[in-house]
Amino acid sequence: MLSLGETASAALTALVQRYGLDARVEEHLGSLLVTVADEPTAPTTVTDPREGVDAHLADSLVGLEIDAIRSARRIADLGAGAGFPGLVLAAALPEARVDLVESVGKKCAYMALAAERAGIANAHPVPLRAEEWTDGRLACDVVTARALAPLTAIVEYAAPLLVEGGTLVAWKGARDAAEEADGEAAAEIVGLERVEVRPVQPFASAQHRHLHVYAKVRETPARFPRRPGMARKRPLVAAR
């Protein structure tokens, strides 16, 4: 198996110190980077550990700047892909259960392998679409989503899964006024309310990174979730 190398190892140590994490977490995160580099089934184009410290780990750990994530007991990461941010948050928050919701079976298989190699026992791949995951409904303190879909779809996916008072955190790039207006309109319909859009800089060269934070402030109507695909096909948008 590959090693991280001095440059990636030093960057990882600095990142762990930045968030006040311990040496055991550093070992878990290092193992995730090694697995990405070493495993041909890894569903990401960023495989060099020197790049992965920023693109995979730092960009995931920036979620710890949101208090609701740090205190969550159950987190669902939607469209979990290669496990970022879900696997990383599971490593950083060993007392929390993290469900990695991903409809592509091969990606779930990879995440299970990566979690096993890293010794991350609190991460659980879920091979379903968010709309189909009945066991997660009204069960999650926090829902996360990174590079998944427009805000209209993300809030619709998340709302049925969140407990009342729960939090959605969506990782996004440059702000888009129209997308945000549509997201607020959709949130109003499904029982969420935007709390903040927080600019973050997970690593020095990060550009225009934002965390969109919503709170579940009332019950989600019984007609949600809609059938799989409807949130993208017929989005809930603001009046134009």
Q: What is the pLDDT along the chain (240 residues), one digit of tens a residue?
A: 457 889 999 999 999 999 999 999 999 999 999 999 999 999 999 999 999 999 999 999 999 999 999 999 999 999 999 999 999 999 999 999 999 999 999 999 999 999 999 999 999 999 999 999 999 999 999 999 999 999 999 999 999 999 999 999 999 999 999 999 999 999 999 999 999 999 999 999 998 999 999 999 999 999 999 999 999 999 999 876
Give the sheet arrangement for strand 209-216, strand by strand.
123-126, 97-101, 74-78, 140-146, 162-172, 209-216, 192-200
Which residues have CB under 8 Å from 131's CB, separation 6+?
Answer: 157, 225, 226, 227, 228, 230, 231
Superfamily of domain 53-233: Vaccinia Virus protein VP39 (3.40.50.150)
User: Are residues 54 and 84 in contact, defined by beta-carbon separation less than 8 angstroms?
Assistant: no
The runs of H, that is alpha helices, within 40-129 are: 49-52, 59-61, 67-71, 86-92, 105-118
Query: Contact, 192 vs 179, CB < 8 A?
Result: no
At residue 13, φ and ψ (nearest 5 deg) are: -60, -45
> How far is residue 197's CA from residue 215's CA, in Å, rounded to a whole number?
12
The conformation of residue 166, written as its DSSP 8-state character, comes to E
* 0.85 exceeded by pTM: yes
Type and span of the H or E element at 9: helix 6-18
Give CA separation, 66 vs 12, 93, 223, in Å: 21, 13, 30
